[in-house]
């Protein structure tokens, strides 16, 4: 699990509750405001997306808690091991190693290589899969970006509705305070959705995608280099170019 996501969620809720005060939390729960903001948000998403995309879109939120399983800095030693095995015993030995791998992208690349597929065709197949993976991720990121845009908008709509109701009751000054509070709560809900939930989720999802893309690109280059019979040390140096200098130093220390 990505420990930063649940920690950030917990701290955000904690600080808001402390700022509000435990004894005043009930004052910040307003059913009509919830209906306007959250109901309007779902309605707008239904208008903008096919219904079958809502479930996968919302479920993408759980990905912010998921730990990245394939990290670029850990790939160099794995690919180097494959390169050394292929150099000693030939490419066919990699087929057995592929069966023990959990990453299907790496498995596919190795099996294509073992089957004697042309290097350019391997690159085309793997890069096509990578491109469509990015498209799928962008769809989910775009879904939450849309939520970040709609949240404040529906909060403002709720505020305007509240203000209209407030102005309609100017003859009774005792209702002005509560009506104004309800009007402002909808803006609060919209801001929290955009700035605490949706916006940070998009940032997290984009960061995870970027790491995964780099890892996949390293796999492609590493496997094609193995197929070309390049020296494992040369392959290692080639793959280090994908990493930040600080990570290259860590990798060298580990080696």
Q: What tens digit of pLDDT does each residue of 74-112 get?
A: 888 889 999 998 888 888 888 888 888 888 999 999 999
* Coil/strand/helix, residue 101: coil
Q: What tens digit of pLDDT does each residue of 134-186 get?
A: 999 999 999 999 999 999 999 999 899 888 888 887 777 776 777 777 788 99
Q: Take residue 234 and report the two structure tokens written for it.
A: 């040369």
Percent of the chain with pLDDT over 90: 54
Q: What pLDDT does 252 receive?
A: 44
Q: Which of 76, 113, 75 is nearest to 94 (CA)?
A: 113
- Report the b/e string of 70-81 with b at 16+ CB within 10 A: bebbebbebbbe
Cα 25 to Cα 17: distance, rounded to the nearest angstrom:
7
Report long-range pairs for 158-162 (Cβ below 8 Å, ≥24 apart): 158/32, 158/33, 158/36, 158/37, 158/40, 158/183, 158/185, 158/186, 158/187, 158/189, 158/190, 159/183, 159/184, 159/186, 159/187, 161/36, 161/186, 162/33, 162/186
Cα 217 to Cα 75: distance, rounded to the nearest angstrom:
11
CA 164, chain centre distance (Å): 39
Please name the residue that has the structure tokens 């596919």: 108
Three-state SS string across 40-87, please? HHHHHHHHHCCHHHHHHHHHHHHHHHCCCCCCHHHHHHHHHHHHHHHH
């Amino acid at each position: 699990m990505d420990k930063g996501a649940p920690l950030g969620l917990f701290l955000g809720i904690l600080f808001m509750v402390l700022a509000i005060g435990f004894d005043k939390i009930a004052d910040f729960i307003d059913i009509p405001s919830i209906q306007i903001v959250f109901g309007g948000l779902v309605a707008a998403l239904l208008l903008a997306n096919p219904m079958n995309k809502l479930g996968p879109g919302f479920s993408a939120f759980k990905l912010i808690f998921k730990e990245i399983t394939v990290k670029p800095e850990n790939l160099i030693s794995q690919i180097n091991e494959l390169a050394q095995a292929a150099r000693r015993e030939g490419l066919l030995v990699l087929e057995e190693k592929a069966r023990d791998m959990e990453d299907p992208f790496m498995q596919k690349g190795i099996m294509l290589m073992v089957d004697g597929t042309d290097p350019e065709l391997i690159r085309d197949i793997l890069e096509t899969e990578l491109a469509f993976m990015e498209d799928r991720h962008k769809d989910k990121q775009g879904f939450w970006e849309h939520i970040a845009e709609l949240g404040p908008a529906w909060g403002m709509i709720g505020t305007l509705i509240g203000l209209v109701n407030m102005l309609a009751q100017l003859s009774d000054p005792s209702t002005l305070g509560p009506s104004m509070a309800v009007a402002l709560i909808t803006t609060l809900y919209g801001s929290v959705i955009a700035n605490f939930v949706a916006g940070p989720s998009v940032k997290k999802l984009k960061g995870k995608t970027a790491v995964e893309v780099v890892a996949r690109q390293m796999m492609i280059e590493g496997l094609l280099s193995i197929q070309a019979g390049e020296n494992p040390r040369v392959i290692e140096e080639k793959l280090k170019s994908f990493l930040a200098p600080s990570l290259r130093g860590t990798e060298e220390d580990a080696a």
